[in-house]
Amino acid sequence: MQMTRNTILITGGTSGIGRGLAEAFHRLGNQVIIAGRRQSRIDEITAANPGMIGFQLDVQDAAAIDAFADRVRKKIPELNVLVNNAGISQSESLTSKPDLAVSRDIIETNIMSVLHITAAFLPMLRAKPQATIITTTSGLAFVPRNNFPTYCATKAFLHSWLQSLRVQLRGASVEVLELAPPYVQTELSGPHQLTDPHAMPLPAFITEVMQLLAAADTPDGEILVERVRGERFAERDGDYARRFWLFNGL
């Protein structure tokens, strides 16, 4: 992926990893477009980063995605990078009054919106001489935690789906990258995560990701900071059972 002269759309760009990536790419002089649910956050971020563009978007609303994609295609035809970062997480009990509405929300946001948005922009991206799709998964795609069952499963789904997309686009001008973060200090699972000392500080994570991208250090299309490599390769390295037990307090 080239690091400059891009026009980049980042979903879930109003907080956490999405905002961190948006501001990092913006500092390099790229045109960055963020999409998120909260207009107040969009206004705050675009004011702090002159030249950045923001759109309000509920990725669970299929009609809104179609209207949004049509608007971007018409107004920003130079778009050549899509970052699928929107995602939600919530703990669940599968044995005591399971709330399937929670599971459905996670699946709609983490899976269906990614498929929908990618399909909407893929023809546009394929027409560019150099384009990139980055999709955020998780280290929990490879070693899951029992108290976030649907979230972990959605990220495992995306890992598999991205492998298929990468092969189908082999020979095309679109690079397909998977960003698999470790546990990072964001609001993903609640405000406590922002200050959890066990989580990787967000600035350190973003810095390492940008360094990997600049060095084209993305073997097999995966962007892996050092801190997540243990989970990513746990099964290959014979360490899966130990890590699974540790993650799940067994």
Q: What domains appear along the chain, each with residue ranges and CATH number?
A: 7-247 (3.40.50.720)
Q: Which residue has the tokens 């030249």?
A: 51
Q: How far apart are CA 15 and CA 8, in angstroms?
A: 16
- Written as one string, the DSSP assignment of 116-158 is HHHHHHHHHHHTSSSEEEEEE--GGGTS--TTSHHHHHHHHHH
Strands (DSSP E) contained in the chain are 7-11, 31-36, 53-56, 81-84, 131-136, 174-179, 222-223
pLDDT at 59: 96
Q: What is the dihedral of CA 125, 117, 148, 181, to 10 degrees?
A: 20
User: Are 248 and 146 in contact, with CB atoms under 8 Å apart?
Assistant: yes
pLDDT at 250: 82
Please measure the distance between the N-terminal and C-terminal CA atoms of the chain and give it in whole angstroms: 41
Cβ within 8 Å of residue 213, ≥6 positions away:
1, 3, 223
Looking at residue 186, the DSSP 8-state letter turns out to be S
Burial class for 170, CB neighbours closer than 10 Å (0-12, 13-18, 19+): exposed
State if pTM tops 0.85. Answer: yes
Q: Which amino acid is at 62?
A: A
Q: Which residue numbers in the chain have pLDDT < 70?
A: none
| Active-site position among 55, 148, 151, 247 | 151
Read off the pLDDT of residues 59-93 as tens digits, 9 standing for 90 and up. 999 999 999 999 999 999 999 999 999 999 999 99
pLDDT at 98: 79
pLDDT at 97: 82
Distances (CA, A) of 22 to 53, 110, 164, 218: 10, 19, 27, 19
Q: How far apart are CA 167 and CA 25, in angstroms?
A: 27
pLDDT at 96: 86
Let me know if 240 is a catalytic residue: no
Distances (CA, A) of 164 to 151, 157, 167, 169: 20, 11, 5, 9
pLDDT at 60: 95
